[in-house]
Every structure is written in C-alpha cells, then in structure tokens.
Chains A and B, each alone.
Chain A
Amino acid sequence: MKTMKGSLDERLKMELKRLIVEECDVMTDPGEIGDEESLFGRDSKLGLDSIDALQISMAIQNKYNIAITDSKEMRRVMRSLNTFADFIQPE
C-alpha cells in the first residue's frame, strides 16, 4: 500500500481529529480542528492539558502501537495536527 507523509494524508488526519475529540471529551466537530492550530494550553482553542496528552498517547499506543514515553516529547509531537500526523506516519 502506498503511504505518504502524515500531514498530507487527509484520511489519517481526520482519524486523529476524531480520536482527539473522543478521548478528550471536547465539544467540537472533528472537522473544525485546524491542521496548524495549536492543541494545548489555555490560549489554544481546544485548551488541552497534560492529562489530555496522556490520554491521547495511551489511545495511539493501543490503536497504532506507537509509544511516546516522555511527556516533553509528547508535547512537541502534538504541537499541531500536522506534526502529530507526521509523527504517526513519517512517510
């Protein structure tokens, strides 16, 4: 199967948006999350925090079998949907 960089894969990005909405229990339509929008912090639209990051990392461990062990790495990886998608699917 042909793969591509995660940030170019619209299907994967929608899947991740749905995962975020579901795991973090946010009242947002997954389609409304921007690809470059920042996900964490009180100033961001979603306002996710460190516990959300843990919740998401556990979900991607179960779903994609990808582990992120370090919380700082997790924050870096999940800076935006694009960086997140590239991490899940580098190429």
Chain B
Amino acid sequence: MYIHSASAFTGEANADIHFLKEEIRRYTQENFRRVNRFILLSLLGALQCVHQQPLEAATAVYLTTEDGNLGETADVLDEIYESKSLPRPFGFINTMSNTAAFHLARNLGIRGRNITVSSQHLSFERGLELLKADFAGGAERSALIGGVDESSLSRMNRKEPSGRGWRMVDGSGWFYVKLEKEGACGAFTEIMSFRDGPSCMRWIRERERSPVEVVSFGALIGDDEATALRETLRPAAEFDYLRDYGYSGSATACGVSLFVGLFQAKTLLHINRDQRGNYAVIELERY
C-alpha cells in the first residue's frame, strides 16, 4: 500500500462549527448543507490530504472512528427525550456516522467502496487491515483512509486514556493510498496484529527490515512498556504525538499521518494496544 499523500487536522475541542466551515473553504467551493461537526472534521482532514493531489475516479473511502458522531447523536436524543418531539430529519440521518464518508465521496466525485469501521482503541489499524484485504483481493486499487473523532467527554471523564494529561482535541488524520508505487511519498510496509505483548516484542526484536528511526506509541501503551520498547529499538527517536498534538479517539491516524509530513526520517514503527492486551504495529516508510 503506497502512500501518495498524508495529513492531519487537529483542532481545539468544541471549536465553533463556523470555524470548521471556514477552514474547509480553503479546499472546496462547495457549501456543505445539513452537516455536523463529525462530518465537517472528516471533510476537513480528507480534503486537506488530497488538496492538489490528482485523484483516481475509482477511489474507495475507509473511515475509521472510535466514537463516530457523538455531538449530534446527543442532540437528537435530547430532541426526543427532553423536547419530547420527533427529531429533525437531518439530525437523525446524521446520527449514522457513515454519512461523513458519503459526503466525502460525493464532494470528491469518487466511486468505490464506502466503509465506516470501529474497533476499541485500534480502529485505524483494523481499517488498514480491511483495506489491505481489498487491495489484495482486487476489489480496489486506490483509497482514502482516515481516522476521525470528536473530542469526547466520556474519555476525558474516565481519565482513559488521557490520564497522562494530554489535551483532548478533535482529530482527523488521512492518507491517500494506491496499489501503484509511482509518485508515492511512502508506504505502509507492515500492519501486524498480536494476541499479547511478548509476541509483539518478539516480532520487533526479530524484524530484519531497515532499522527503525522513529518510534511512536498508542495511548494505552504503559510507561514501563514504552521504556522497554525504547530500549529494544535504541537509538530510534520517539515521536510523542499525543503530548505534542493532543489526544482524540483517532490519535493514531493523526499521529502516523503527521509523521509523514514532519519527519525526514525513513522508517516509523507505531506500536499500539487495546484494553484486552491485543497489540497492533504499523510500519511505515517514507521515501
């Protein structure tokens, strides 16, 4: 899977929705009607990613998200339970988070699969796996894949995983990927899944590809674990995107796409885990 462009939008939690609309005008003339924060965040991140990038007409969209549309779902529940009325039609339709992927495909005029998928703490990694299967099976040759999440009250309240004092942000990180290498700026060279920490660690120790120059950790990787991994991967530098850019449910997609734009280094290893102790590693090479 070759990366042809990558970028991320991270914004202050609860930013004015008009600000998001203004930002989007930098990339498109279209006035998006009947949209909410989640849809605007998706559009903003993805349009920023493919701005000035020629797109294949046959391009799929894989939207990954931890929480999907939080704000408008809460609003619609309030219309029903507090205002004791039927919800407004647009509001109800937009509680379905895949409407964001629809707006994106329509605005860009692309035709292909359109998938919205989630997986606790590993949504972006799981989306990459589905995309990999579609590329391998010949279903698609070109795709936009991203992670989008509004800042979430529940994650903040439970101090999970922002207990380490990360700022809570809105996040939307995207990649334009193709089967073809020509014109690419990088590649996802591995997407690995492990049932436990030791097998993940073993794979990292035994891997023989180019040396890791930068390592980054997902939100649930504990301090001790991170220390051990840093030691194993020495002298790799660390990209602490959670500290530098803040946390959202889609921090992984944001962090990894930021790496492509910010670093000169060649190889990134992003190590992540879920609450069950399943691990996932993304290996990315910049050209």
Contact = CB atoms under 8 A, between A and B. Distances in A.
A–B: direct contact at CB < 8 Å: yes
B88 A24 contact: no
A27 B86 contact: no
A58 B34 contact: no
A54 B90 CA distance: 9
B275 interface: no
Contact of B90 (A26, A51, A62): A51
Contacts of A54: 89
B93 interface: yes
Main secondary structure of the interface of B (DSSP, over half): loop
B86 A58 contact: yes
B210 interface: no
A27 B34 CA distance: 11
A55 B93 CA distance: 12
A14 to B, nearest CB: 21
Interface in A3-39: 24-27
A51 B35 CA distance: 13
A55 B90 contact: yes
The A contact surface, by secondary structure, is helix
Contacts of A27: 31, 33
A58 B91 CA distance: 12
B271 to A, nearest CB: 42
A51 B92 CA distance: 11
Nearest to A59: B88
Contacts of A62: 85
A55 to B, nearest CB: 5
Interface string B28-39: 000101110000
A24 B89 CA distance: 11
A22 B262 CA distance: 41
Contact of B93 (A24, A51, A58): A51
Contacts of A25: 33-35, 90
B212 to A, nearest CB: 47
Contact of A55 (B31, B35, B85, B88): B88
Contacts of A24: 33-34
A26 B33 contact: yes
Contacts of A58: 86, 88-89
Given A24-B33, A25-B33, A25-B90, 5 more contacts: A26-B31, A26-B33, A27-B33, A55-B90, A58-B86
Interface of A: 24-27, 51, 54-55, 58, 62
Interface of B: 31, 33-35, 85-86, 88-90, 93
